[in-house]
Structure 1
């Protein structure tokens, strides 16, 4: 099949996705078990971000700023490709039951393939939300698959102005990475997310992505590489938990191991959980009790109340300095 035909077919698929015709497109159901969740309040922050809570938010949002302060700590949940809202709710519910609000972030395939007009815009919105709503503290990260790449883009922007964003970095008390996928595996990870039931089209998209990487260096490839480098030399030094599987060919054990070794060499505390046979971002679905227990165990190592008091104390010190 010629590259031009593949490209037109894929672009048409992305056009339908971007116009909201998800119901007419096959969807991949990855990463969780079918189980009821409690009522979750959802506030649409932007096209790509939603704020989830255990109670209805009376707050409204303008220019990514909530008009009412929130008292709960916040999890930034960076979803996998093509994640449906009701699917991410399964994970959000784990955090909500622990007293967190959850900012879910999704990107679509078009935004991923054209980062300068896609994922980098979303990354800027994540930063703007955190900067505009400084009352959220402490902060946690929970990223899936390409969410690692998206967070790398966030850190690239932070690195350009550390004086401005250091106070945000200081609020992170923990990070969890589920099936984190490196740039070297994107030609394997994106196709099944877009075409889960059409192997021929998935293979065609995989070939197109390889062509895309070779052809569009300035607007795509160099940004993937820079994000990957930033993820490996992270700005977030909070304790980390990696969740992965021996059978995952996308978020591989070897690529995650390299990240683990880099982070440990920087003095970051890294916990490591390898499941036996779960698919990519499918650990919760395959091992629900073990997955939740691992998250709770990790949280137990972080004294959130102590961290909150510590961060509030540092904020008060800064205010005193300003007055003096």
Structure 2
């Protein structure tokens, strides 16, 4: 469905499934942010991991032009998208539920960056309870070769070879100049997603799902990022699938992937419950 020019899908579980899994507590709301070029029919397969656990799910994928053009040129178009996504929680009156993110590739992580900034700075969202985030095949940093591979795959065979060559050349030149050569200067105007989140990470737990075989996002970028935010006190866990291609861990290892995502969500909910119990005891002791 669409609202304010944002196309998204929201799915509510039946009451019986929610009660069976969450036993009277508010069911989590899982926000899935798709990779660049992701089709909703593909993202819906990931949302089913959580729907079958009695969760509300919201699916959204940022447009290609926003990910590859707006962000490359420093236009913060995704910032307004992030705002509208968080407002959906209020539209459906689920703002008091635990919030969980599942992010895919740099396309999803770029949007996640602006969501984090809003949660850090906007009073409207200060009461939202984010319990964790699973990050699939992200984040990558200044990897032109990987971005070129991703864009080539997205453009596909339907586009003419000449137009494909022109688009890819323009993209490479732009990214190389603005995001690498001139980045020591342009970062003061617009930091990339990797640096922005690394410098001011959120406090909730993160679970990174990645692979050494990924030809788009370098595994060392993910590992360096994890180590940096871990040193800043962010609870971090990870799993290296070793052989699966970019955003294909679920496709290649469906049972293992599903189990790890569900276990992480359950651990985040358990942490929330433990925190709530401690808070109540503290209030009662006053």
Contact 2:6 2:81 in 1 (8 A): no
Distance in 2 (CA, whole Å) between partners of 1:199 and 1:287 is 34
**Does 2:247 correspond to 1:281?**
yes
Q: Closer, same or farther in 2 for the Cα pair 1:175/1:212, shift >3 Å?
A: same
Alignment of 1:127-146 (within 5 A): 127-130=86-89, 133=93, 135-145=95-105, 146=107
2:29 counterpart residue number: 74
Q: Secondary structure at the match of 1:210?
A: helix
2:113 counterpart residue number: 152
Distance in 2 (CA, whole Å) between partners of 1:202 and 1:287 is 33
Cα shift at 1:149? 1.3
Distance in 2 (CA, whole Å) between partners of 1:277 and 1:73 is 31
1:51 counterpart residue number: 10
Q: Secondary structure at the match of 1:237?
A: coil
2:174 counterpart residue number: 212
Say how many residue pairs are matched: 254
Cα shift at 1:235? 3.9
**Does 2:90 correspond to 1:124?**
no
CA RMSD, Structure 1 to Structure 2 (Å): 3.3
TM-score (norm 2): 0.75
Distance in 2 (CA, whole Å) between partners of 1:224 and 1:189 is 24
**Does 2:204 correspond to 1:238?**
yes
1:114 counterpart residue number: 70
1:292 counterpart residue number: 258
1:98 counterpart residue number: 53
Cα shift at 1:99? 1.3
Higher mean C-alpha deviation, range 99-108 or range 200-209: 200-209
TM-score (norm 1): 0.67
Cα shift at 1:139? 0.6
